[in-house]
Amino acid sequence: MTDLTPTLPDLWQGRDDGPRLHQLVQCTELSRLKRSHEARAIAFVGFACDEGVKRNQGRLGAAEGPDAIRRAAANMPLHLHRKMEFYDVGTVRGIDGDLERSQARLGEVIAHLHASNVLPIVFGGGHEVAFGHYQGIAKARPDLSCAIVNFDAHFDLRPLLPQQKGSSGTSFLQIAEHCKSVGKDFSYTCLGIQEGSNTTALFEQAKRLDVNYVMADAIHAQGSKACHKAIQNVLKNHDAVYVTLCMDVFAAAFAPGVSAPQPLGLYPMHVAPLIKELAQSGKVIGFDIAELSPKYDQGDMTARLAAAMLFSFLWAYS
């Protein structure tokens, strides 16, 4: 079975010289979320599942990621430019290896938040979180053409497993297939791709699906501006954007606590300005952070980096 378990308020603690995030987050059940209509509202959701990582033969541990991100982000200062409300509606927990049910349950939560005009921010979990998150967007906004921007070393376009089962490496192929089945365009931009982490077959699949991507090497050579054209094309041609951040896009020196560490990954200063650019557009309708695996972290370095990326998003969005 799969459930949405409440978040313990003790996870949101920090200094009281705010405003800091922990001072504004309200832990509540999804059915009891009552937002005002005088402010922008954000709801944090956990996805404590790494069955997809297991199926993808990665290092397990991402199921512990949501609470680690909450703890790291709790003391984060807020620089609000408008009135904001923050909620934590709990964590979808996968049980008995039923990834598909976990993703469907996450989709239900996301759809409920959209119906309430609340922006979902999801803390994973493996990158299988993306297919669950997208299911919610598709359910709540079936007529909306939503582009995807993924910060990732991997395309995650791998073939499905036997019995049409997915993994942490198949989310965007599954989204592409859903788009095709309902007659929607599949708009997927991936930033930070590593040639050494994707096979020739995956590059060919990306070409077939008309994926727009920027290699990590180009970003190292040119900085964030290597991605400027790609992001501007997304924002120019779409009214809505779903942003997903896989922590393995970063170099292992900054993010050791992930399923697949990247020795040649990006630097935080490459990614933060791009997240701000997307958030400032006003077009982001969903954001998630995936693949933090606390058991492999060092001094909470990766969790703190995840919190820093959340800070970049909230600074620009609020």
CATH of the domain at 21: 3.40.800.10
Position 1 confidence tier, pLDDT thresholds 50, 70, 90: very low
Q: What is the DSSP code string of 116-174?
A: TT-EEEEEESSTTHHHHHHHHHHHH-TT--EEEEEE-SS---PPPBGGGB--TT-HHHH
Distance, in Å, from the CA atom of 254 to the CA atom of 271, rounded to the nearest integer, reads 12
Residue 2, pLDDT score: 58
The one-letter amino acid at 128:
E
10 Å CB burial of residue 13 (0-12, 13-18, 19+) is middle
Instruction: Return the half-sphere exposure (C-beta side, CA atoms, 13 A cut-off) of residue 232.
Output: 6
Torsion of CA 292, 306, 22, 135, to 10 degrees: -70
Which residue has 């930033």 as its token pair? 191
Percent of the chain with pLDDT over 90: 94
Mean pLDDT, to the nearest integer, of 118-133? 97
Reply yes or no on whether the pLDDT at 296 is more than 70. yes
Give pLDDT tens digits for 214-254: 999 999 999 999 999 999 999 999 999 999 999 999 999 99
Residue 18, pLDDT score: 84
Distance, in Å, from the CA atom of 243 to the CA atom of 229, rounded to the nearest integer, reads 16
**For the chain, the helix, strand and coil percentages under 3-state DSSP, each to the nearest 5:** 45, 20, 35
Q: Work out the mean pLDDT of the chain and round it to a whole number.
A: 96
Report cis status (omega within 30 of 0) of the bond before 19: yes
Give pLDDT tens digits for 255-290: 999 999 999 999 999 999 999 999 999 999 999 999
Phi/psi class of residue 302: alpha, beta or left (left: φ > 0; alpha: ψ in -120 to 50)?
alpha
Residue 281, pLDDT score: 97
Residue 145, pLDDT score: 86
| Whole-prediction pTM | 0.97
Give pLDDT tens digits for 5-18: 999 999 999 999 98
Question: Domain residues for 279?
Answer: 3-317
Domains in the chain: how many in total? 1
